[in-house]
């Protein structure tokens, strides 16, 4: 598993933007590589919407975004099409299709205790290709995208001014908010069979829960 201060491994990967070489593709820029367990899952969808909405804000601080899961490219493409069509949000950054899990294994994104999908890992890499921060979240907990932005900004500030930043630095100048899709609702795990799917659709019609699609439902706690 890679560690802080190590060079990001040189790899060529398939993405929704074609094949690219990392870290060279982002040479001269910071980039945030983040993994998600799977396409067409609700928590991952909320994360991608928030990343997409903050994409321009990241670009303003010379930082690019790139996602990753072990799904294939066609699944990524269909998923981001669904997000644009159903949610009105366009995902413009590339998503790696690590369908063999090679890069995920190098970066320690697959836990033997959490199945075969990637966990919610975040790698912040500087313009020299050096890994500056690593954050891991479990599959059942969505990330705070604003905190990831704050972390990049804090690292850049430290480099530029030869300083360190304290706890909660810059929080008062950032817009901390709930999910723009579901607010503070909790997400119901996706249906695992046809009966669960049908039951969920019935509950949605009764107003017991709210759904964007049968696999993406939420409710107040």
Q: Domain 186-219 belongs to what architecture?
A: 2-Layer Sandwich (3.30)
Element (H, E) at 105: helix 102-106
Query: Which ranges of 140-186 does DSSP label H, i.e. alpha helix?
Result: 145-161
The answer to whether the predicted template modeling score (pTM) of the entire model surpasses 0.95 is no
Q: Which CATH superfamily is domain 11-173 in?
A: Glutaredoxin (3.40.30.10)
44 among known catalytic residues: yes
Task: Please indicate if the annotation marks 120 as binding a ligand.
Answer: yes
Of the candidates 32, 33, 43, 44, the residue annotated as catalytic is 44
Residues 6+ apart with CB under 8 A from 1: 107, 108
CA angle 67/183/209 to nearest 5° reads: 105
Q: Where are the domains of the chain?
A: 11-173, 186-219
Per-residue pLDDT for the chain (221 aa), expressed as one digit of tens each? Answer: 789 999 999 999 999 999 999 999 999 999 999 999 999 999 999 999 999 999 999 999 999 999 999 999 999 999 999 999 999 999 999 999 999 889 999 999 988 887 788 999 999 999 999 999 999 998 889 999 999 999 999 999 999 999 889 888 887 777 777 888 999 899 998 888 999 999 999 999 999 999 999 999 999 98
């Amino acid at each position: 598993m890679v560690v802080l201060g190590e060079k990001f491994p040189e790899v060529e990967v398939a993405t929704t933007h074609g094949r690219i070489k990392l870290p060279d593709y982002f040479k001269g820029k910071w980039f945030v590589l983040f993994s998600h367990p799977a396409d067409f899952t609700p928590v991952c969808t909320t994360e991608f919407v928030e990343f997409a909405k903050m994409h321009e804000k990241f670009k303003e601080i010379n930082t690019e975004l790139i996602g990753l899961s072990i799904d294939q490219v066609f699944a990524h493409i269909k998923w981001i099409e669904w997000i644009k069509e159903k949610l009105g949000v366009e995902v413009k950054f590339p998503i790696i299709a690590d369908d063999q899990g090679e890069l995920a294994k190098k970066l320690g994104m697959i836990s033997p205790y959490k199945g075969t999908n990637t966990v919610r890992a975040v790698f912040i890499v500087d313009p020299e290709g050096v890994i500056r921060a690593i954050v891991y979240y479990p599959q059942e907990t969505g990330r705070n995208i604003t905190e990831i932005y704050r972390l990049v900004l804090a690292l850049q500030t430290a480099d530029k001014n030869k300083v360190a930043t304290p706890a909660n630095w810059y929080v008062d100048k950032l817009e901390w908010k709930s999910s723009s899709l579901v607010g503070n609702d909790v997400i119901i795990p996706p249906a695992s069979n046809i009966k669960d799917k049908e039951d969920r659709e019935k509950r949605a019609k009764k107003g017991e829960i709210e759904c964007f699609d049968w696999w993406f439902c939420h409710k107040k706690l």
